[in-house]
Amino acid sequence: NAGVMQNPRHLVRRRGQEARLRCSPVKGHSHVYWYRQLPEEGLKFMVYLQKENIIDESGMPKERFSAEFPKEGPSILRIQQVVRGDSAAYFCASSREIYGYTFGSGTRLTVV
């Protein structure tokens, strides 16, 4: 998973707090994707972004979740007012064009 950097690796939040997950894509990659993996479940697509644009957010929950990929800096997945059901591993991936993903090592979010 060299190249896609996600931080923090582990994040603990109390119910009602905000969680910010950061993803720095491989240098030169302008496409970023976020996936969520709930405990004992498969990966589920959340959102696909290109620089400053959301291309496909069909997997994002309608409330409390947002994502951005600004012109400068990392992509951010933001979860407001976290609940216990948000506890999961969140993976980011990037690609130069549409082909070929490189995934990061993920952020493990625990809501207590």
Partner 1 sequence: DAKTTQPPSMDCAEGRAANLPCNHSTISGNEYVYWYRQIHSQGPQYIIHGLKNNETNEMASLIITEDRKSSTLILPHATLRDTAVYYCIVRPAAGGTSYGKLTFGQGTILTVHP
Nearer to partner 1, 8 or 100 (CB): 100
List 45, 51, 66, 87, residue binding partner 1 (CB under 8 A):
45
Position 88 contacts partner 1 (CB under 8 A): no
Position 91 contacts partner 1 (CB under 8 A): yes
Sign of CA dihedral 34, 38, 39, 40: negative
Position 3 contacts partner 1 (CB under 8 A): no
List 30, 59, 74, 96, residue binding partner 1 (CB under 8 A):
59
d(CA 109, CA 98): 28
Residue 15, amino acid: R
Nearer to partner 1, 87 or 103 (CB): 103
**Number of other CB atoms surrounding residue 98 within 10 Å:** 9
Half-sphere exposure at residue 53, Cβ-oriented, CA atoms within 13 angstroms: 5
| Phi, psi of 84, rounded to the nearest 5 degrees | -60, -30
Which positions touch partner 1 (CB under 8 A)? 1, 4, 31, 33, 35, 37, 42-45, 48, 55-56, 58-59, 89, 91, 93, 95, 98, 100-106
